[in-house]
Structures are given as C-alpha cells and as structure tokens.
C-alpha cells in the first residue's frame, strides 16, 4: 500500500498541472488584445474630429444666416401686405377724385351760365352756352369710357334694354325697339344702365 501512494500523488499532481495549463490557455484565448494605436494614427483621428467640428460650426452658421434672411423676408412681406391693404383702401376711398377734378370746370361753367341767365335775355346765346357745357361734360365722360346706347331700330335685348311698353308699329318688325324713353349707357364693355324702351308687338 505504501508503494501505491507515490503513484497516486504523481497522478494527482499531473492532473492539477494539466488543469492549470488548460486554464492558462483559456485565459489567453478569452483575453481581447487591444490594438496598439500609434501617435501618428492618434493625430489623424484628432484632425478628423477637428475637421468635423469645423464643418458642423460652418453648417450652424449657414443655418443661422438662412434663418435671419427668412425672418427679414417675412417682415418685408408683412410690410408689403399692410401697405397694399392701405393703398387699396385709399384707392376705394378716392377712386372718383380724378373724375370729380375733371368735372369741376363743368360746374364752374354751369354757375357762370346760371349767373348770366337773369342778366341776359338772349335765349339763343344762353342755349348755345348750355349746349357747350353739355358737350364738355359729354367729352369728359366719354374719355372715362362712358358711351350711350343706340337702341331705336335694334332687336330687343334684355341684357341692354328694359321694356316698359309694347306698341303696335308698321315701321318696325315685331320685337324691335321703336322708342327710347330713357337712354342706356355702357361703361367700356359693361352695361352701366339699361335703356328704358318701347318695343313693337
């Protein structure tokens, strides 16, 4: 029995050594080898980071510039909109100013004509004076695009005529305007006032 003890001791010692060797190998395999970074590679990485930061700063500056431009454009547009609304209001308020200014001489001439009517008994001269004022007024309105309708002898058209009576006529065909009771007017191409007419039946 005493001779077997050294054999067992040797076996146990061999097993422990094997286990120790395997454990050491496993530790070596599990150990992650960290890559060695050279000074040169570190400098390159630092340069890349610096370049990225510079580019980011530039993009931020450009974004801020675009934002400021947008704000200025918005402010300019708001001012333009307010100015346009104001001009539109003034245009509506004083749209007739030009026409009235042109009519003032006509009013002056009417006042003169009325002033001389009592002093001068010459009806012919007075009539001619009033006629001249009427032509002056007619010219101003014509320049503004006002034209009288010529209705008599034309077929009745409800867009241009307002029939107030139907009459018998040997001279005109049925449905023709035979008499104009009140003259109609066009303002450029739009009916300003339809003509009041009598129509043949």
In 3D, which of 176, 108, 161 has the Cα closest to residue 136?
A: 108
Average pLDDT over residues 101-126: 81
- Burial of residue 50 (CB within 10 Å: 0-12, 13-18, 19+) is exposed
The total number of residues written for the chain in this structure: 201
pTM of this structure:
0.53
Please report the pLDDT score of residue 118 as a whole number: 65
Q: Which residue has the higher pLDDT, 38 or 90?
A: 90
> How crowded is the C-beta side of 10, counted as CA atoms within 13 Å?
5
Q: How far is CA 4 from CA 16, 39, 62, 195, in A?
A: 19, 62, 89, 146
147-201: CATH superfamily: Head domain of nucleotide exchange factor GrpE (2.30.22.10)
Sort residue 190 into left (φ over 0), alpha (ψ -120 to 50) or beta: beta
What SS3 class is residue 134? Answer: helix
Highest mean pLDDT among 9-18, 65-74, 84-93: 65-74
Domain segments of the chain: what residues?
A: 147-201
């Amino acid at each position: 029995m005493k001779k077997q003890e050294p054999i067992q001791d040797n076996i146990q010692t061999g097993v422990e050594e094997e286990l120790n060797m395997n454990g050491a190998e496993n530790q070596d395999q599990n150990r992650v080898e960290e890559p060695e970074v050279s000074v040169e590679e570190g400098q390159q990485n630092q340069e890349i980071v610096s370049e990225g930061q510079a580019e980011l700063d530039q993009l931020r500056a450009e974004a801020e510039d675009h934002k400021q431009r947008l704000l200025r454009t918005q402010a300019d547009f708001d001012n333009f909109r307010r100015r346009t609304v104001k001009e539109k209001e003034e245009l509506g308020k004083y749209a007739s100013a030009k026409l009235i200014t042109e009519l003032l001489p006509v009013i002056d001439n009417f006042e003169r004509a009325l002033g001389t009517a009592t002093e001068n008994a010459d009806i012919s001269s007075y009539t001619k004076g009033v006629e001249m004022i009427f032509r002056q007024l007619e010219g101003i309105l014509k320049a503004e695009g006002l034209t009288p309708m010529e209705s008599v002898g034309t077929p009745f058209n409800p867009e241009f005529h307002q029939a107030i009576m139907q009459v018998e006529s040997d001279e005109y065909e049925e449905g023709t305007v035979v008499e104009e009771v009140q003259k109609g007017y066009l303002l450029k191409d739009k009916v300003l006032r339809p003509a009041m007419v009598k129509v043949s039946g």
